[in-house]
Amino acid sequence: MKTPTRRLLIVLLLSWSLGPLLWQLYTSFSTNEALITPFANIDHRWTLNHYKDVLTGNPPFWRYLINSLIVGAGSTILTLCIATPAAYAITRSRGTITKVVQTMLIVAALFPYVLLFLALLEVARSLHLGNHLLALTIPYAALSQPLAILLLSAAFRDLPIDLEDAARLEGLGLWSRLRWVLIPLIAPATASTAILVFLFAWNEYPIALTWLSDSSLLTLPVAMARIAGSSIYSVPYGAYAAATVLGSIPLIALVLIFQKSIVSGLTSGAVKG
C-alpha cells in the first residue's frame, strides 16, 4: 500500500475511534448554552462547571470511581487467582475429561450472562450479599472464568515444554515452577486477561444495578445512569460527558501502564539458537 493511502487510512481509523471521545471531551467543557446553540455567538463558551457539579454532588463522583476501582481490582485478582491454576491444570492433564471441560468452558464463555442475572439476584438475596461492594467480585470473577481460563491456558500451551522440564530437573517443585518460571513467562497473557476482566467489571450494569441500592456504594455505570436520568425534562449532557471523561481516565491509565508487559516477544530466544 502506498504511503499517502496508508496515512489517510490511519487518519480515518483514528477519527473513527477517537472522534466520540473527543466529542465527549468537548461537551464536558462546554456551557449548556454552547451545547444548545453551537454556532451562535456566545460569551461563555467554555466552563468547568460540569466537572464541579459532578465532583461535588452527593455523594461526590470520586466515590463511584473508587467503588468501581475496588470492584474492578477485586474481581481481577480473584479471577486470576482461580483461573491461573485452572488453566495450568487443563493444559497439563490429558484425557476425555479435560476435553469435556474445555468444550464446556467455550460454551460458558459464549453464554449471554444477562440470562443468569435473575438467578444471581436470588442467590444474592438468600446469601445476604446485597449492598456489599466486594460481594460483586464473586459473580464478576465467576463470569470471567471461562474467558480467563481459555486465554491463560492458551498461553501455558504456547510455552515450550522443555522449559518446564528443565525447571523440574533443576529441582523446582510445582509451586516453584509456577512462581519462578511459568507465571512470569505468561505475564503478557495475564496482563491482557486482567485488562479484559477489569473492563468487564468496570462496565457491568445489570448485576451492579440490582445488587446495590445504597447510593454511596454505586459503581460507575449505575451512577452515570442516575446522572443521565436525574431529570425527566432534560438530559444533562454536560454533566454526563464530564462523568464519562472522568470514568475513562482510570482505564486509559491502566492500558498505558500495562502496555509494556503486553508487548509480545518476551519468550523469544528461549528456544533454538
Partner 1 sequence: MSLKLNNLGRRIDDRWILRHLDLEIQNGECLALVGASGCGKSTTLRIIAGLDQADEGSISIDGIDVTSTAAVDRKVGMVFQSYALFPHLSVAANLELGLKVRGVAPSERQQRVRQILQLVQLEERASQKPAQLSGGQRQRVALARALLRDPMVYLLDEPMSNLDAQLREELRPELRRLVLRDQKPVVYVTHDQHEAMAIADRIAVLRDGQIEQVANPIELYKHPASLYVAEFIGRPQINVLPPEQGVIKAIRPEALKLQAGGIACELLHREWLGASQIWQLKSHLGPLRMLVGSDQTVPESIQVSWAPEQEHRFNARSGKRLAA
Q: Does the protein bind partner 1 through residue 94 (CB under 8 A)?
A: no
Number of chain residues interacting with partner 1 (CB under 8 A)? 26
Among 96, 88, 97, which residue's Cα sits nearest to residue 157?
A: 88
Among 174, 173, 227, 209, which residue's Cα sits nearest to residue 58?
A: 227
| Grid cell digits, residue 75 | 474481581
- Minimum CB separation of residue 158 from partner 1 in Å reads 12
Query: What mask of x and - would describe binding to partner 1 in positions 181 to 220, judged by CB under 8 A?
Result: x--xx-x---------------------------------
- Minimum CB separation of residue 263 from partner 1 in Å reads 13
Which of 32, 49, 98, 176 contacts partner 1 by CB under 8 A? 176
Among 196, 70, 220, which residue's Cα sits nearest to residue 143?
A: 196
Q: Does the protein bind partner 1 through residue 173 (CB under 8 A)?
A: yes
- Minimum CB separation of residue 99 from partner 1 in Å reads 17
Q: Does the protein bind partner 1 through residue 260 (CB under 8 A)?
A: no
212, 226 Cβ separation under 8 angstroms: no
Q: Does the protein bind partner 1 through residue 223 (CB under 8 A)?
A: no
Residue span binding partner 1 (CB under 8 A) among the ranges 25-33, 40-48, 56-64, 167-175: 167-175
Q: Does the protein bind partner 1 through residue 262 (CB under 8 A)?
A: no
Query: How far is Cα 101 from Cα 205, in angstroms, rounded to an integer?
Result: 29
- Minimum CB separation of residue 254 from partner 1 in Å reads 23
Q: Does the protein bind partner 1 through residue 266 (CB under 8 A)?
A: yes
Any residues with CB less than 8 A from the CB of 237 and at least 6 apart, and which?
27, 32, 35
Q: Does the protein bind partner 1 through residue 272 (CB under 8 A)?
A: yes
Q: Does the protein bind partner 1 through residue 168 (CB under 8 A)?
A: yes
- Minimum CB separation of residue 151 from partner 1 in Å reads 19
- Minimum CB separation of residue 93 from partner 1 in Å reads 15
- Minimum CB separation of residue 90 from partner 1 in Å reads 20
Residues 147-166 that bind partner 1 (CB under 8 A): 160, 162-163, 165-166
Cβ proximity to partner 1, 128 vs 272, nearer residue: 272
Binding site for partner 1 (CB under 8 A): 160, 162-163, 165-173, 176, 180-181, 184-185, 187, 266-273
